[in-house]
Amino acid sequence: MKNQRTLLIFAPSIEDGGVEKNLYNLTNFFAGKLSNISIITVNRNKKKKFKKEINFISPKNNIWINSNRIIKTFISIILFIIFLLKEKNKITIFSFNSNVYAILLAKLFNCKIIIRSNASPQGYSERFVKKKIFSLLFNLSDQVIVNSLDFKKQVKKILNVNSICIYNPLEDSNFINKKAKKKIKFKFFRSNCLNIISVGRLVKQKNHITILKAINLISKKIKIKLILLGKGDQKESLRKYIRQNKMEKIVKIIDFKKNPYPYIYKSDVFILSSLYEGLPNVLLEALSLKKYILSSNCPTGPKEILNNQKYGKLFKVGDHVNLSKKILYCIKNKKKIKNHRYKNFDLTKYDFTKNCNIYFNNINKFLKK
C-alpha cells in the first residue's frame, strides 16, 4: 500500500517492559501494511526486534544505549531534525510516549502528530507547571491515544484533553500459555509456601517497596516466597531493604527475562504495586495464566481489568498493611484462590489482531490527509 505520507515512529529510549512490547508489536504490524515507515531511537541494540522493511534510524554505535533519558532524548531530537529536513514525503509522526519535543517539532515542520500516552497523568497532577505544559502541548497534537477508559477520563479531568481509547494488543492466550510451559532451572518456590511474583521494571513508579514491607510484616507468621522479576534503578535500594530486614531466604530479585511467563506460571499469586499505570499488560498476562491478582488501586487500569475486584483484589496505593492482610487471606484460602473464577474473564477486547487493526485504521486516516 502506497501512502503520500511517511509514518515516523519516535521512541527515543527503548527499555524492557510492557510499553516496549506494544511498540514492537504495533510497529511490525504497521510494516506489513505500509511501504514508508521509519523509527527513530537511540537503542540500536533493539534493531533485531523490528522487521527489515522498517527504516531503522539510530546512532551508528551503541555508546549512548546506557545514557540517561535526557541524553537519549537529545540525541533522538538531532536524528529527528535531520530526518525531517531530508525527507521529501509529507510526514505523520507517531510518538510512542508523551514527548513534548516531538509535538513542538511536528508543529514547527508542519507534520501531523499522534501521541500515544502510556501512563496516567495522575503522576504529575499536583505539579502545576508540568500539568499546564502537557495540557497545552497535548491540545496541539492531532490526536492523543490512551489505553484504558479510566485513563481517558483522567486525561480529560487533569489535562482537559480529548483522547481516544485503544486497548493494548495482547498476545494470544494460548501463545502465552505455551511459552509459560517452557522448562527453566528454577527451584526457589516451594509447594508448602505461598509463592508470590511481581514482574516489572524496578523503578519508583512500580513501588515494589510496598510489597517488601507487606511481606516483612507477616513473614514470621507464615511460609512465603517472593520473586521480584525485573531491572531498574531501584534494584540496590530494594536489595538493601531485603538485607536489613533479613529477608534473603524468602525474597529473590531476578533480572529481566525475555520470557517471564514460566516464572509467573509457577507462582500462586501475582502482585502489582504501582503508583500509577496506563493499562498494565502484565496483569492481563497473569490473568491469561489464571493467576490470582493482588493489585494497587492505582490510576489507571487495574480496577478496569479486574472488573471491580471480580478477578482479584485491590488495595490502596502504598498501603502495605492492607496488602499484608490480603496476602494472609491468600494463604488461608490457597485452594480457593487456585480455583478462582476465570472462565468468564473476557480477553476479546484486548485481542491482538483486532486492536492492531484499530490502531492502523486510525493512524492511516492521518497518512491520507
What secondary structure, in 3-state letters, does the chain show? CCCCEEEEEECCCCCCCHHHHHHHHHHHHHHCCCCCEEEECCCHHHHHHCCCCCEEECCCCCCCCCCCHHHHHHHHHHHHHHHHHHCCCEEEEEECCCCHHHHHHHHHCCCEEEEECCCCHHHHCCCHHHHHHHHHHHHHCCEEEECCHHHHHHHHHHHCCCCEECCCCECCHHHHHHHHCCCCCCCCCCCCCEEEEEECCCCHHHCCHHHHHHHHHHCCCCCEEEEEECCCCCHHHHHHHHHHCCCCCCEEEECCCCCCHHHHHCCCEEEECCCCCCCCHHHHHHHHCCCEEEEECCCCCHHHHCCCCCCEEEECCCCHHHHHHHHHHHHHCHHHHHCCCCCCCCCHHHEHHHHHHHHHHHHHHHHHC
**Could you count the other beta carbons within 10 Å of the beta carbon of residue 108?**
10
- Residue 112 β-bridge partners: 92
Options 2.40.10.340, 3.30.420.40, 3.40.50.2000, 3.40.50.620; CATH of 5-169+351-368? 3.40.50.2000
Strand order of the β-sheet with 312-315 is: 251-254, 224-229, 194-199, 269-272, 292-296, 312-315
Supply the pLDDT for residue 335: 82
C-alpha cell belonging to residue 115 = 501521541
- The pLDDT, as a whole number, for residue 1 is 46
pLDDT tens for the chain, 369 residues: list them: 444 589 999 988 887 778 888 999 999 999 999 989 999 998 888 899 999 999 999 988 777 777 777 888 889 899 999 999 998 888 899 998 767 888 999 999 999 999 998 877 776 666 778 788 888 889 999 999 999 999 999 999 989 999 999 999 998 888 999 999 999 988 899 999 999 999 999 999 999 999 999 999 999 889 999 999 999 999 999 999 999 999 999 999 999 998 999 999 999 999 999 999 989 999 999 999 999 999 999 999 999 999 888 889 999 999 999 999 999 999 999 888 877 756 567 788 899 999 999 999 999 999 886
Write out the three cell numbers for 165: 481509547
Residue 369: per-residue pLDDT? 65
pLDDT for 343 equals: 59
Give the separation between CA 309 and CA 294, rounded to whole angstroms. Answer: 9
Q: Which fold has domain 173-349?
A: Rossmann fold (3.40.50)
CA dist., res. 347 & res. 355, Å (int): 12
Spatial contact of 210 and 320, defined as CB atoms under 8 Å apart: yes
Domain with CATH 3.40.50.2000 in the chain: 5-169+351-368, 173-349
Compute the distance between CA of residue 351 and CA of residue 21 in angstroms, rounded to an integer: 15
**How far is residue 196 from each of residues 37, 252, 257, 305, 327, measured CA to CA in Å?**
42, 11, 17, 20, 9
What pLDDT is recorded for position 70? Answer: 83
pLDDT at 205: 93
pLDDT of residue 344: 66
